[in-house]
Structures are given as C-alpha cells and as structure tokens.
Amino acid sequence: MSIAVIGANGGIGRRLLPRLNEADHEPIGVVRSEEQFDPIRDRGAKPMLGDLEGQFASALDGADAVVFTAGAGGSTGWDKTILVDLWGAERVVRACEANGIDRFVMISSRGADDPERRQGPIKPYIVAKHVADRTLQQSSLDETILRPTRLTDEEGTGCVAAYFDTDPEAGDPIPRADVAQAVVECLDHDATIGHAVTLYGGDTPIEDAIQPPS
Ligand SMILES: NC(=O)c1ccc[n+]([C@@H]2O[C@H](COP(=O)([O-])OP(=O)(O)OC[C@H]3O[C@@H](n4cnc5c(N)ncnc54)[C@H](OP(=O)(O)O)[C@@H]3O)[C@@H](O)[C@H]2O)c1
C-alpha cells in the first residue's frame, strides 16, 4: 500500500518510514518544508509538501492509506493545539473522504477517550485529541486509533501492553519506535479497524498485542 504519513519528520514519523518500507509498503512522507525532503528520501519515502495550517490537499495524491502522527508539541500555545492537533486532523479526515482514501491510523493519546478524567494544563490537548478521534470514528473511514502514553526516545523493545477500547490510567512510558511498529502491525491487520487501542510499554510482542480480543 502507498501510505501517507502526516508528521513524517517527527519522532514517530521518522521511525515509521523505514518500517513501512521493510513491510513492503510505499511510504509518502508529508512534511511542511522542502528542506525536509532529503531526510525523508534517506528513510526510503517519497516526500510531499503539506501544511496542516495551509496548503494540504495534494499531499495525499496517490495514497491508499494515511497515518496521522503530527502534533503542535508541548512548546507551542493552545492556539496551535486547536489548529494542528484538532483542526489539522479533521482536515485530513475530510480530505481522505473526499479523495476515496479509506484506511486511516490516528496517533491519539492516552486519556483521549474521556477528557473529564484529566485535569491540569494538559486537558486542552486531551480535548483536542478526543474531538479529532470522534470525527474520525464518525467518518466513513476504516479507522484504527492508537492512544500511546508518554513517549520516549529509548530504543524499541518490540513489545507493548495494548488495551482495546479501554483506556487505563497507569502504565509504563513507551518508546516511539514501538508505537511506529504498532502502526505497521495495525495497517497489516484489518481486525484492528474500528478499535481504539491504548498503548503502554509492556512485554507482549507487538504482533500479538495488536490482536483484538475475540
Ligand atoms: N509526546 C508524547 O508523550 C505523546 C504522548 C501521546 C501521544 N502523542 C502524540 O503522538 C504523535 C507523535 O508525537 P511525536 O512526539 O513523535 O511528534 P513530534 O516529534 O512533535 O512531531 C510532530 C510532527 O508534526 C509536524 N507538524 C506540526 N505542525 C504541522 C503542520 N502545521 N503541518 C504539518 N505538519 C506539522 C511537525 O513538523 P516539523 O518537523 O516541521 O516541526 C513534526 O514533524 C503526536 O500526534 C502527539 O500528539 C505524544
């Protein structure tokens, strides 16, 4: 499959591109500056320009599936949280519907199923993720939502703890590399469609963990 990765230059995105290649997919790395094209090519992906706050539509040309792993990050204001994490994600969902791209994997966040359980400064971000997830769930797309806990840059372990359609509050942080591998497994297993999966660091091999309970 040809898979457009939104946020390809980010922590999860950079780790995802070569893994998609290894899994015989054709990754498209969507970035917002041409200066990022070479590193995207170096990771075996075709670069495309797309700014979630600006010109975006042609970024999905030729894609069969989309992974959304963009984010405004913790050092920007809540205005960017609304424009990128919420509205940017909604724009991508609508663009997929308009372009007949059915498969969508969303990197959401632990806690996004119920923002009322979260208080403090992170709550607006969790609300943004919740609303973006809800838009995707109510769309016509075949969606899998991954809700990782706090991300780290540690090496991947190849193992996670995955919770289908439930969002427990306690668990270990998770390496970005393991989230990237979980995305690949989801794209290769249609049984994950229609599910929201909370991810922590854990000790179940990812390919086993990403199987919905029967
Ligand atoms: N950090 C955590 O602990 C945590 C926990 C749970 C979930 N998440 C979610 O996991 C996902 C990936 O996290 P990460 O830490 O790997 O992300 P990251 O390194 O912060 O990367 C985010 C990417 O989004 C891109 N981006 C920002 N604004 C954009 C725009 N207007 N148009 C297009 N692209 C834009 C950035 O582009 P540039 O490279 O050009 O800046 C960057 O490459 C995010 O959705 C995040 O919300 C994070």
Q: What is the CATH number of the domain that holds 180?
A: 3.40.50.720
The pLDDT, as a whole number, for residue 54 is: 96
Residue 184 is assigned to a structural domain of this protein: yes
Q: Which domain holds residue 125?
A: 2-209
The pLDDT, as a whole number, for residue 45 is: 98
Contact 162, 204 (CB under 8 A): yes
Q: Total structural domains in the chain?
A: 1
Give the pLDDT confidence of 185-202 residue by residue, as tens digits: 999 999 999 999 999 999
Residue 214 is assigned to a structural domain of this protein: no
Residue 125 is among the residues annotated as catalytic for this protein: yes
Give the percent of the chain with pLDDT over 70.
100
Give the pLDDT confidence of 95-118 residue by residue, as tens digits: 999 999 999 999 999 999 999 998
Residue of 5, 9, 52, 75 to test ligand 1 pocket, by largest number of atoms within 8 Å of CB: 9
The pLDDT, as a whole number, for residue 47 is: 98
Paired with 204 in beta bridges are 160
Residue 82 is assigned to a structural domain of this protein: yes
Residue 13 is assigned to a structural domain of this protein: yes
Cα(214) to centroid(ligand 1), Å: 33
The pLDDT, as a whole number, for residue 116 is: 94
Number of Cβ within a 10 Å radius of residue 43: 22
CB 52 less than 6 A from any atom of ligand 1: yes
Residue 169 has pLDDT above 90, yes or no: no
Mean pLDDT value across residues 4-14: 98
Cα(83) to centroid(ligand 1), Å: 13
Cα(42) to centroid(ligand 1), Å: 20
Helix (H, G, I), strand (E, B) or coil at 94: helix
- pTM of the predicted model, to two decimals? 0.98
CB 174 less than 6 A from any atom of ligand 1: no
Residue 130 is assigned to a structural domain of this protein: yes
CB 151 less than 6 A from any atom of ligand 1: yes
Residue 44 is assigned to a structural domain of this protein: yes
The pLDDT, as a whole number, for residue 212 is: 86
- In 3D space, the residue among 138, 133, 67, 66 whose CA is nearest the CA of residue 100 turns out to be 66
Residue 153 has pLDDT above 90, yes or no: yes
Average pLDDT, the chain: 96
Give the pLDDT confidence of 34-83 residue by residue, as tens digits: 999 999 999 999 999 999 999 987 999 999 999 999 999 989 999 999 99
The pLDDT, as a whole number, for residue 81 is: 97
Residue 76 is assigned to a structural domain of this protein: yes
Give the percent of the chain with pLDDT over 90.
93
Residue 203 is assigned to a structural domain of this protein: yes
Cβ neighbours of residue 156 under 8 Å, at least 6 residues apart?
15, 175, 177, 178, 180, 181
- In 3D space, the residue among 55, 56, 37, 34 whose CA is nearest the CA of residue 45 turns out to be 37
CB 168 less than 6 A from any atom of ligand 1: no
Helix (H, G, I), strand (E, B) or coil at 51: coil
